[in-house]
Amino acid sequence: MNKKTIISMVLGCMSLLTASAQNGWFVEAGGGVQTIFSSDAGKLHFGKRLTPSYHVGVGKWITPAYALRLQIGGYALNGMSTSEGLYLRDPQTDGSIYGPHDPVIDNVTVRPDGTYRHYLRYVNAHADFMVSLSRLLFRSEGRFDVLPAVGLGYARTFAYRGTADANSLTANFSIAAKYSVLKCMDVNLEIASALMPDHFDGRITGRKYEPTLGATLGLTYRFNASKPCAKKQRCHKLRREAVVDTVYVKERIVERPVFKDRIVEKPVAKKQEAFRLASVSFACASAKPEKKQDIVFENIVEYLKQNPSARIRLDGYADKATGKARTNLMLSIRRTDSVRNILIERYGIAPSRIEAQGIGSNAQPYEDNDLNRVVIVTALPE
| CATH code of the domain covering residue 91 | 2.40.160.20
CATH of the domain at 365: 3.30.1330.60
- Identity (one letter) of the amino acid at 202? G
Q: Residue 214: inside a domain, yes or no?
A: yes
Strand partners, 216: 32, 190
Give the per-residue pLDDT at 88: 73
In-domain check, residue 233: no
- What is the distance in angstroms between the CA of the first residue and the CA of the last residue of the chain? 79
CA–chain centroid gap for 356, Å, is: 33
- The answer on 274 and 129 residing in a single domain is no
Residue 8, domain member (yes or no): yes
Q: β-strand 311-317 against 374-380: which pairing, if any? A: antiparallel
For the chain, residues with pLDDT lower than 50 are: 1-4, 6-7, 10-11, 14-23, 92-93, 95, 225-228, 230-233, 236-264, 268, 270
Indicate if 251 and 123 belong to the same structural domain: no
**Triad 253, 257, 261: Cα angle to 5°:** 120
pLDDT of 139: 64
Predicted model pTM: 0.56
> What value does the CA radius of gyration of the chain take, rounded to a whole number of Å?
30
The pLDDT score that the predictor gives to residue 146 is 94
Domain co-membership, 211 together with 256: no
| Single-letter amino acid, residue 263 | I
Q: What pLDDT shows up at residue 258?
A: 45
**Which whole-number Å values give the CA distances from 118 to 107, 109, 163, in the listed order?**
10, 10, 7
Q: Are residues 176 and 275 in the same domain?
A: no
3-state secondary structure of 314: strand
Question: Where in the sequence is the domain holding 43, given as residue range(s)?
Answer: 3-222
CB contact burial 69-82 (16+ within 10 A = b; e otherwise)? bbbebbbebbbbbb
256 in the same domain as 213: no
